[in-house]
Structure formats: C-alpha cells, structure tokens
Structure 1
C-alpha cells in the first residue's frame, strides 16, 4: 500500500516518534500523533505493542 502523504512531522509529532522509540511498547502520546505516525509508516502495532519501523528509525537519524 502506498501512502501519499507529506513526510513532514511537527516538532510535537517528532517528539512522539522519539517517545515510541524510547518507551515502547506503551508510550503516552496523543492519538492523532499515533495515527499519523502509523499512516506514514514510522510506527507499527504488533502483538507486543508499538514499534518504530525502519523508516521511523531513518526519520529519527535524519534529524540529528
């Protein structure tokens, strides 16, 4: 499935991505942020909880 959405995140959404990476599987982030991160393919839900995907990790490292 191809998602045609901008890859840009607000600073708050980016902080939520970091939060998932640090506190998986149960981060405390706003539902709209989670929905956008999943739609963009940066985060996925697994049986063990939320996990940052390879694309999400790349997005994090691009910002350093």
Structure 2
C-alpha cells in the first residue's frame, strides 16, 4: 500500500533492523531545530539514505 512512498520505503528499512528518521530540506538557517547530515544526497528519489550524524539545535554560526 505505501511501498512507493517514503513511509513504505522506511518500513522496509525498519524491518531490516535499522532506525528511520524523516527530514525536510531547510529553507533558512534555524537554531530551533536539529539538522541531519546524510552520507549522500538523495536527489528526490525517495530511497533511504544513511545518516552520518545529527546536530542538535546548532548555534547561529553552525546553522549557517
């Protein structure tokens, strides 16, 4: 039912024993949200991409 959507693709990853998180492309630097650093740019394919790190609510310099 959802296999062609992000949720369905994420479910397949979860079934493989991994964690899944969803993110959105920011439109501006923001200090109130965390940032995901991904291993490679997904380019809108919807294919799950490995997460390199997570930055919790960065200061203004790092958010830029």
Shared fold, TM over 0.5? no
Higher helix share: 1
Structure 2 length-normalised TM: 0.25
- Larger radius of gyration between Structure 1 and Structure 2: 2
